Structure 1
């Protein structure tokens, strides 16, 4: 059975987010999005009157929302260490499951070098700010001062994104695991009255 025409918009946005992460903004063309999503060509300008620029912009927002929801879900238990372990585990699964092709679509949009780049960079900045606020709130709830919580949230996001880039280059999870272990140690020392829980295998534990 062919996909319903009514869901072509969502499929195109999801495909654009995947292609952004794997290939970058420059290579995420309308043709590639259509081939990946299976959406009909006639739906492009019906759903995205501003064309590729709008499609990629909405893909950035979509990808940001998906990750924000994952962060919020992990944070809902109120355990900052477990939440960050979950954040790293998500990227570990994505990298391993894609044979190290998966990257962050938000980063791809932020560093886009073409004429549409500034528009996407603005959207990426909004996404990063949202992630930062979510993580900062978690750290503050765990006992850190607001300023320290925001700094630490920025550091965690930067460490994860940088580690993902290194993992793709090296085709290895080692950079991500190293970053996860160091951030886990940092949190355990920074959070007041924190006793270390047992680390799950492959989630930042240190030998």
Structure 2
């Protein structure tokens, strides 16, 4: 297995663990087990330890979401994007029996204990907001309204995901999805 493949497997293993347990309570042993990489490789790829791994994993996940948003923007209307994102979050919750949530949100909540992950979370949210703001503006929303819509979309979906996880139901995501589709529809 190539070095970059092992490193990527460790990032993905960390992301999956953080989605279920948060960053602070996830051990390096769990990340190694999920990734299938040798334990010594943690410090080979991440010499600064768990903090570096957490920051890079959150950034990796954030870039993946940014790429997905960019892809959706190229071929979807604003309501279709809302449907797609809500469906992704809903499916993740249901498939994990409501154990999994967003690792970027986990990094934001646990920021004091993992500063590198907090920075990566902030950068991820900024990227997502920027992509959506630009898209909503291109769809005819005034600049300020486009920015407000982007923030409301991200904050609402993240918040509804946390509620859904805690309540063990997708109802919060379903309700917010319907509301957000109306919000982001092209202005008349």
8 Å CA contact retained: 2:133, 2:149: yes
Runs of 4+ in structure 1 displaced over 6 angstroms? none
Superposition map of 1:98-117 within 5 A? 98-112=96-110, 114-115=112-113, 117=114
Compare the two structures and name the one with the higher helix fraction. 2
Distance in 2 (CA, whole Å) between partners of 1:53 and 1:13 is 12
Among 155, 174, 177, which residue is 1:177 paired with?
174
Could you report, residue by residue, the CA deviation over 1:153-191 in whole angstroms, capped at 9, with x for unpaired residues? 000000000000011111111010000011112223xx2
Superposition map of 1:15-164 within 5 A? 15-112=13-110, 114-115=112-113, 117-164=114-161
TM-score (norm 1): 0.86
Distance in 1 (CA, whole Å) between partners of 2:63 and 2:79 is 22
RMSD value over aligned CA atoms? 1.4
Q: Which structure's CA Rg is the greater one?
A: 1
TM-score (norm 2): 0.94
User: Any stretches of 5+ residues in structure 2 without a counterpart?
Assistant: none
Q: Note the C-alpha offset of 1:113.
A: 5.4
Task: Give the number of equivalent residue pairs.
Answer: 187
Could you report, residue by residue, the CA deviation over 1:18-68 in whole angstroms, capped at 9, with x for unpaired residues? 111110111122111011111101211111111111110110011101111
User: Any stretches of 5+ residues in structure 1 without a counterpart?
Assistant: 194-207
Distance in 2 (CA, whole Å) between partners of 1:5 and 1:80 is 40
Structure 1's 54 and 118: CA in aligned 2 closer, same or farther, altered over 3 A? closer
